[in-house]
Structure 1
Amino acid sequence: MLTRILVPIDLAEPQMTKLAIDYAETLAKAFHSEIRLVNVQSLTPIKFLDYLPQDFDENIKRGLEGELASVAAHLSLPPTHVTTALLFGPIYQTIIEEAERWKSDLIVLCSHRPGMDRFLIGSNANAVTRHATCPVLIVR
């Protein structure tokens, strides 16, 4: 039975985000599951910090948390069944760590169609699928 569904989303890709969320929401309704929307951001490289305003990270964090909350607000699940997390770090490793920490039963994520760049450098969806300890549903 699915009780906890982790949904990593890319806020810069609203169409892909909607696809993954629609699948996760359908499953959550069927199984009365909780959904956790997660957005993972890379850390700002240290060499750029001298060129950014002091409050840059805080402003970015507030903006992203607002966007994440807006996406969560559009779900038709009870608010007690939806949580969000804005995380920072390497994308696929952070997703896997969050899935284990939150004790996810399933990870639902969307992936681009593979192109040559994906074959050369790999994709986060592929890495999550290979390393996750719970089932992964990839939506294309």
Structure 2
Amino acid sequence: MYKNILVPVIQDHETTIASSMAAARVLCAEGGRITLLTVLAEIPTYVSQYLPQDQLQRNLTDAKEALEAEFAGQGVSVEVRAGHAAQTILDVAEADAHDCIVIASHRPGLQDYFLGSTAARVVRHAQCSVHVLR
């Protein structure tokens, strides 16, 4: 069993969130901690010049509030960050000493063999256990 589990999620994939959370709860030791993480892509400069200056911060706040409302009272902490998905997941896992990452993945296609999916990058570079759900 794991004491500090990180569950990276994409907010608009409700079915994968449910299955990831179910797996994390099974793997979590009594008294353990589960952290949900959503990573939003940073807004490119050529786009941000047409948006309000605090748009990224508003997006981060909205995402965090939505996840906190969805998981209120379930003993889950929520983090929302901006950045490159795979690298941010790895950075958070290392910085917060997570001992397991539970991540959902799609079936790999040809493009994944050339570019690599987020889950594949996390599996290759994580310093802790990684459980991949398909």
- TM surpasses 0.5: yes
Q: Quote how far apart the aligned CAs of 1:52 are.
A: 1.2
| Counterpart for residue 96 of structure 1 | 90
Instruction: Provide the C-alpha distance between the structure 2 equivalents of 1:69 and 1:36, rounded to a whole number of angstroms.
Output: 11
The root-mean-square deviation of aligned C-alpha atoms, in Å, is: 1.6
Deviations 1:6-37 (A, max 9, x none): 11111121111111111001222x54311011
Structure 1 distance, partners of 2:132, 2:30, is 19
Match of 2:123 in 1: 129
Higher helix share: 1
Tell me how many residue pairs correspond in the alignment. 134
Q: Give the TM-score taking structure 1 as reference length.
A: 0.87
On the 8 A contact 1:27/1:33 being kept in 2, the answer is: no
* Structure 2 counterpart of 1:53: 52
User: What amino acid is aligned across from residue 10 of structure 1 in structure 2?
Assistant: I
Counterpart for residue 66 of structure 2: 67
Identity %: 33
Other structure's SS at 2:38 match: strand
Give distance in 2, aligned partners of 1:39 and 1:83: 12
What does residue 17 of structure 1 align with? Answer: 17
Using the alignment, how far apart are the partners of 1:117 and 1:74 within structure 2? 40
Contact 2:40–2:60, Cα closer than 8 Å, also in 1: no
Question: Which of 117-126 and 36-45 deviates more?
Answer: 117-126
4+ residue runs over 4 A deviation: none
TM-score (norm 2): 0.91
In 2, the alpha carbon distance for the partners of 1:32 and 1:131 equals: 27
Unaligned runs of 5+ in 2: none
Determine whether 1:40 maps to 2:39. yes
Question: CA deviation digits over 1:22-59, x for unaligned, max 9?
Answer: 1001222x543110110011110111112113342233
